[in-house]
């Protein structure tokens, strides 16, 4: 069965510092991977996704993620964070041939210190 593990429940960083949010998945078949962001009191918004092709995926707001099949990881990175990046970040994997079902990780709260 597919699953997603986000290793850090909280990540505090200083403004303008780099950040990496870790995500590992388990699956016996090809997967499609996503990162979603949830700002306070809002719904989820897609940051980026990996379907196929280049393993380095660039998303919105300066975020990028790298798909590593050998390590079954899809870590999210940003070279310099802003206060506005404070949010909950969810890694997700889609399953099945139609890939309509998404399994979410438990989320990582990114808090930015001035």
Give the footprint of other proteins on this chain (CB under 8 A).
Answer: 32, 34, 36, 38, 41-46, 49, 51-52, 88, 90, 94, 97-104, 106-107, 109
| Minimum distance from residue 81 beta carbon to other proteins (Å) | 20
| Minimum distance from residue 54 beta carbon to other proteins (Å) | 15
Got the DSSP string for 38-70?
E-TTS-EEEEEEE-SS-SEEE-GGG-EEEEETT
**Enclosing H/E stretch for 1:** none
Tokens matching residue 13: 């960083």
CB-wise, 37 or 81, nearer to other proteins? Answer: 37
Give Cβ neighbours of residue 52 (< 8 Å, ≥ 6 apart). none
Tokens matching residue 101: 């079902």
| Minimum distance from residue 96 beta carbon to other proteins (Å) | 8
CB-wise, 53 or 114, nearer to other proteins? Answer: 53
| Minimum distance from residue 41 beta carbon to other proteins (Å) | 8
CA 82 to chain centre: 17
CB-wise, 19 or 93, nearer to other proteins? Answer: 93
């Amino acid at each position: 069965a597919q699953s997603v593990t986000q290793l850090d429940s909280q990540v505090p960083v200083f403004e303008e510092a780099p950040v990496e949010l870790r995500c590992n998945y388990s699956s016996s078949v090809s997967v499609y991977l996503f990162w979603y962001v949830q700002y306070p009191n809002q719904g989820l918004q897609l940051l980026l996704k990996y379907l196929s092709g280049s393993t380095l995926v660039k998303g919105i707001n300066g975020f990028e993620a790298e798909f590593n099949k050998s390590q079954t990881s899809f870590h999210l990175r940003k070279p310099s964070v802003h206060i506005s990046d404070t949010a909950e970040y969810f890694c997700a994997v889609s399953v099945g041939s139609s890939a309509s079902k998404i399994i979410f990780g438990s989320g990582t709260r990114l808090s930015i210190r001035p």
